[in-house]
Amino acid sequence: MREHTFHDIDRVIDEIHDLFDVWVQSSTPGNTLDEYGLLVTKLAVHEWIANLVQFATFGDQPPMIRLVVSQRSSGLHCMVQDNSEGFDFQACIKEQVRILNRPEPSERGRGLLMMLACTEDLAYKTNDDGLQHLEFVVRPPVNSDDMPSFSPSADQAFDQA
């Protein structure tokens, strides 16, 4: 298990990137995921932290963001806690779906949907202690050798021609 706490809201994104870059280079925090899985995890964590930096209100208390990453048999489990005032997660998801369905393209406003698409078991809540709590799992990719064949192989296709 890896645990890191951040307090400098102006540097937290750079610190998260540095942390994941080291993990990608050293295959840490474990061998559950390959390099691409760690990069997906980095992208999801980055999106959440970037939203905290841009939108979160911490009131009169200094910001605290805690990241816990642990290897499990099902994949890499990530948990982010912070002491912000939180937000209405479901309302934000609904708004992002509306943005996605607009006829004109939008460069922003789809980060939570991206997180839902590339992670599993994503959950957000406010804990009894008032901390905001996000957690999700990034699973290893399915080994292509273990997948059933959905179409004839290229060799079979050429043999039939």
Using the predicted structure, report yes or no on whether residue 146 has a pLDDT greater than 80. Answer: no
Every domain of the chain and the residues it spans: 2-142
Q: Mean pLDDT in the chain? A: 83
Using the predicted structure, report yes or no on whether residue 154 has a pLDDT greater than 50. Answer: no
Q: What pTM was computed for the model?
A: 0.80
pLDDT in tens, 53-92: 999 999 999 999 999 999 888 889 999 999 999 999 888 8
For 36, phi then psi, to 5°, come to -70, -35
DSSP single-letter state for residue 144: G
SS3 of 50-89: the string is HHHHHHCCCCCCCCCEEEEEEEECCEEEEEEEECCCCCCH
Classify 134 as helix, strand or coil.
strand
Using the predicted structure, report yes or no on whether residue 21 has a pLDDT greater than 80. Answer: yes
What is the average pLDDT across 110-136?
92
Q: Of all residues in the chain, what percent carry a pLDDT higher than 70?
A: 80
- Looking at the domain covering 2-142, what would its CATH class be? alpha beta
